[in-house]
Amino acid sequence: MKAITAKGVPFMKKEVIKEYQEYQGSGIKPADFDDFWEHALQELNDQSLDYELEKVDIPSNIADFYNLYFTGVKGARIRCQYIRPKQIEGKVPGMLMFHGYHSNSGDFSDKLAWVSEGFAVLAMDCRGQGGESEDTTSVKGATLKGFIIRGVEEGPESLYFRNVFLDTAQAARILMNMEEVDEEAISVQGASQGGALSLVCAALEPRIKKVVAQYPFLSDYRKMFELDINVSAYEELAYWFRFRDPLHEKEEAFFQNLEYIDLQHLAPRIKAEVKWAIGLEDLVCPPVTQFAVYNQISSPKELFVYPEYGHEYLPKLGDKIRGFLLNG
């Protein structure tokens, strides 16, 4: 494991890194957390790995493009983009991609750089967000403002992100099961929500070999609420209290349910090698919430620190991680 280094980082930022280097998160891991996810994975094991391919007519000299559909837990129809090289000899490495919060998988052509290197790429639309995947979550209580709180009033089994987390693992299994894909050479990458889901995918599907995560979301909810940054991606936490529990009578139950979808508790399950990029001025997914997860990963890992950057494009990162994803 490479240690977190402050070399070349301005003095005040070095202090930030030093402060967080041993931080283990504010979450309280439920006693039945591991049983909860083993039970969820058993439900996933009962899901078919069948899928439908629909050819998409996009001109290219190197790639074929498809919509791929599968049925996820709770009967949701999940749509992915699948892009593979036109010329395939033997088996090719596979790459999974996950998108940011509220968004979608973007353009098919965005993935051509990886397909040109010989990868088969599968990019999943999260259910009910900006893409085509169906959200079948049916819950009581607040559903208006965001997906973290969706189902929180009914308990962890009803949480929206429980289902999305399982979708990531099912997508990985489908990719690994394809005839043209080498199941021993699967990587995954994403930013923000996509970074979080990349880590989740590796935690739930231990055959994943490599992860690239940029400033991941969905971690350390108690700390995030304590920071009181209501312009961040976590604004729905305050929204829920404001409209559903203004006297905070259900505060402990609220956070206890969210512990089941907190990355800091899933991180120890990761076996893949991880490259992680963080902006120390990130107000959307503050660094402390990211260190809560990073510090729990025991597999090989490396942190790329951007002192003057926040939740935004990180220059040179693509060049830095290219060799990592291409080599073996």
187 in active site = no
> From edge to edge, which strands make up the β-sheet containing 77-85?
52-56, 63-71, 77-85, 120-124, 92-98, 181-191, 210-214, 273-279, 301-306
- Rounded to a whole number, what is the largest CA-CA distance in the chain? 63
CB 203 within 8 A of CB 266: yes
- DSSP H or E stretch at residue 210: strand 210-214
Catalytic residue among 26, 158, 192, 219: 192
DSSP-derived letter for residue 2 is: P
Active-site residue 192, yes or no?
yes
Which of 125, 133, 220, 311 is catalytic? The answer is: 311
**133 in Cβ contact with 91 (< 8 Å):** no
Residue of 125, 220, 262, 282 marked catalytic: 282
Active site residue 311: yes
Residue among 218, 223, 232 nearest 284 (CA): 232
| Residues belonging to the active site | 192, 282, 311
